[in-house]
Amino acid sequence: MAGLLIINALIVPMSETRQWFEGAVRVRDAVISEVYEGRCDELAPDETVIDARGCVLMPGLINAHTHLYQTLLRAVWEDLELMPWLKRIYGCARVLTPEHFYAGSLLGCAEAIRSGVTTVCEHHFLNPSAECAIETVRAMEQSGLRAVFARTVMDTGEIVPDCAKEKPEQAFRLIEDLLGRYRNRGIRFMTGPNTPPINTSPDLLRELRRFADAHSLGISAHVAESRSVVEAVERDHGQSGVVQFLQQFAIPGKNSIFAHSVHVSKDEIGILAATGTSVSHNPVSNMMLGDGVAPVVEMLRGGVNVGLGTDGAASNHSQDLFDTMKAASLLQKVHHRDAGVIKPFDVLRMATIGGARALGVDSLCGTIEAGKRADLILVNMGAVHNQPLNDVFSQIVHCAKASDVQTVIVEGEILMRDRRLTRLDEKRIIADAQVAHRDLMHRLSALAY
C-alpha cells in the first residue's frame, strides 16, 4: 500500500491531554508511522500528499451502536414510545428479506462515511433467516469501514414474531457459521441478548455468556432503555434494575457494551464501573422515543467508559455522529441545569477513544499516535459556521457539521476525498435503496399491528 503524507493540518490527537497543534501525519502500510509538530518537507517517492490546510485532522468517529438496515425505515413511525415502536420494528421480521438488509445497510455505511465515521458497531437482532445477517456483514465489508458486527439473539417476548425467536443452540450454530466465513477477513464479532429481559429468557442469558467466552466474543445489549423495561424486570424477576438482573448471569464485563442505560441506579453505575462494562450513549434516539436522559455525567464521574451511538435511523433518522455529539453535550447541560457539567473535550473523547475502548479496538484506533492504524478524518473548519476558530473542541462538538468532513481514511485507504466516495458508487447505492424501500413499504402495508 502506497504511503500518505497529510500536511498543514490542525491535529487534534484526542489523547489524554487536551491539546491541538499544527503539523503533519505520515502513514505507511496502513499505520501511522510519524506525527510531526510543524512542517514536514521530506517526501517519499511513493507517497500521496494531502494538503489539509484549513482542516482539523482527527481520529475517525466511532459509532458504538446502530442498526444499519433501518435507513429504509427512516421517519416511518413517528411519535411512538419504545414499546409500541418496538412492536412495529420486530413485526418487520415477517416481511424483511436479505436484499432489504443489504441495500439498507450499504446505504447506512455510505451515510456513515460521509459523516466522518470510520468504525461502526451494527447491533443485529432480527434474524428471520441466516442470510439477513450474512447480507448485512457483506455490505459492511464492501464499505471499507472498520466493522464490528454484534449478532444478538431473542428467544421469547410477546411482541416478538415467531420468525425472530431462536433457540440458543440454533442461534449459536448460525453465529459459528458467520465466524467461520468472516472472522479472518478483518471484521470483529460480538453476540448478546437483544433487550433483556423483555425478549431474552434467563436460560438464554446463561448460555450466552458461556458461548461468548468460549468463542472470545464481546457482548452487546440494549439495557434499561425505557422505564417500561425496568418495570418488566421488577415485575417478572423481582430485581430493581436491569443491570442488577444481568449481573446474575455475568453479562456485565470488560468486553460488554450496554446501549442506552438510561434508567440505571447509582448502585448499577457502580456495577458497570466495577465490571469494566462500557455504555453506548444514544441521546438523539432516546429523545425521539421519549425514553429519558441517561446519567452520562454520573457514569463518567463513576469511572464508566462511555461511547456514542446514533442508534438506527428508525429512531434517530440519521447516522450523523456530529448531531449526536451536540445532543449529548446540550442534553446533559439542560438536564443538570449546569452549563459546565460536561466539557466538549469529554464529549469528543466519547465519540473517538471512548467508542474504541467500548468495542475493544482502542489498540488500533481512537487517537492519533504512531503505531495505530490510520483511521483518520479531515474536517473543514473554514466554513462560515465554524469561523472564527477559538476553541477547537467546542467548535467540533457544537459548530461543525457532518457535511464539513472532507476526507475519510480507514486502515490507510481513502474512502472519501473532497466529499466524493472513492470505493462506493453513491448513486447506485441510493437507487438500490429506493427500490428496496418501495418493496419493503409494500410488504409492510399488509401487516396489522
In this prediction, residue 45 carries a pLDDT of 80
- What is the spatial distance between Cα 406 and Cα 408, in angstroms, rounded to a whole number? 7
Least confident of 174-188, 246-260, 321-335: 174-188
For residues 65 and 170, state if they share a domain.
yes
Q: Is the pLDDT of residue 449 over 80?
A: no
Q: DSSP string of 43-112?
A: --TTPEEEE-TTEEEEEPEEEEEE-GGGGGGTTSS-S--HHHHHHHHHHGGGT--HHHHHHHHHHHHHHH
With respect to residue 334, please indicate whether it lies within any of the assigned structural domains.
yes
For residues 336-340, give the mean pLDDT. Answer: 98
The grid coordinates of residue 234 equal 421488577
The C-alpha atoms of residue 52 and residue 183 are separated, in whole angstroms, by 35
CA 185 to chain centre: 20
Average pLDDT over residues 303-313: 98
Residue 28 lies in a domain: yes
Q: Whole-angstrom Cα distance, residue 56 to residue 70?
A: 31
Residue 44: the pLDDT is 81
In this prediction, residue 448 has a pLDDT band, given cuts at 50, 70 and 90, of: confident
Q: Are residues 102 and 145 both part of a single domain?
A: yes
Contact 260, 225 (CB under 8 A): yes
The x, y and z cell numbers of residue 72, run together, are 429504509
The identity of residue 65, as a single letter, is H
| Residue where a domain terminates, one of 341, 358, 375 | 358
38-52, 318-332, 367-381: range with lowest mean pLDDT = 38-52
pLDDT at 94 over 80: yes
* Pair (49, 65) in one structural domain: no
Query: CA gyration radius for the chain?
Result: 21
Residue 162 lies in a domain: yes
pLDDT at 415: 98
Give the CATH number, domain containing residue 177: 3.20.20.140
What does the pLDDT read at residue 43? 80
C-alpha to C-alpha distance for 311 and 385, rounded to whole angstroms = 27
Answer yes or no: do 272 and 132 share one domain.
yes
Q: Mind listing the pLDDT tens digit for each residue in 48-92?
A: 999 999 999 999 999 999 999 999 999 999 999 999 999 999 999
Q: With H, G, I as helix, E, B as strand and everything else as coil, classify residue 29.
A: coil
Is the Cβ–Cβ distance between 196 and 156 less than 8 Å?
A: no
Q: pLDDT tens digit string along 405-443?
A: 999 999 999 999 999 999 999 999 999 999 999 999 999
CATH, residue 389: 2.30.40.10
Question: Which stretches within 264-384 are classed as H helix?
Answer: 266-275, 283-288, 296-301, 321-336, 344-349, 355-358
Using the predicted structure, report yes or no on whether residue 1 has a pLDDT greater than 80.
no
Convert the pLDDT of each residue in 31-55 to its tens digit.
Answer: 999 999 998 878 888 899 999 999 9
pTM value is 0.97
Are 179 and 114 found together in one domain?
A: yes
Position 338: which residue type? Answer: D
Specify whether 351 is located in the same domain as 206: yes
pLDDT in tens, 106-124: 999 999 999 999 999 999 9
Residue 2 predicted with pLDDT over 80: no
Query: Is there a domain that residue 198 lies in?
Result: yes
Domain-located, residue 433 = no
Residue 9 has pLDDT above 80, yes or no: yes
In a domain, 251, yes or no: yes
Contact between 365 and 373 (Cβ < 8 Å): yes
Q: Which tens digit of pLDDT belongs to each residue from 179-234?
A: 999 988 889 999 999 999 999 999 999 999 999 999 999 999 999 999 999 999 99
Domain end residue (candidates: 320, 342, 358): 358
For the chain, how many residues are written? Answer: 449
Residue 160 near residue 194 (C-beta atoms within 8 A): no
pLDDT of res. 269? 98
Q: What is the mean pLDDT of the chain?
A: 97
Q: Alpha-carbon distance 33 to 35, whole Å?
A: 7
316 pLDDT higher than 90? yes
Q: Are residues 338 and 229 in the same domain?
A: yes
**pLDDT tens digits for range 113-161:** 999 999 999 999 999 999 999 999 999 999 999 999 999 999 999 999 9
Domain count, the chain: 2
The verdict on 32 and 54 lying in the same domain is yes
pLDDT (0 to 100) of residue 46: 86
More confident residue, 2 or 214: 214
Per the domain annotation, does 373 fall within a domain?
yes
Q: What gap in Å lies between CA 415 and CA 401, rounded to an integer?
A: 18
Mean pLDDT of 356-366: 98
The amino acid at 130: A
Range of the domain at 11: 4-59+365-421
Do 199 and 348 fall within a single domain? yes
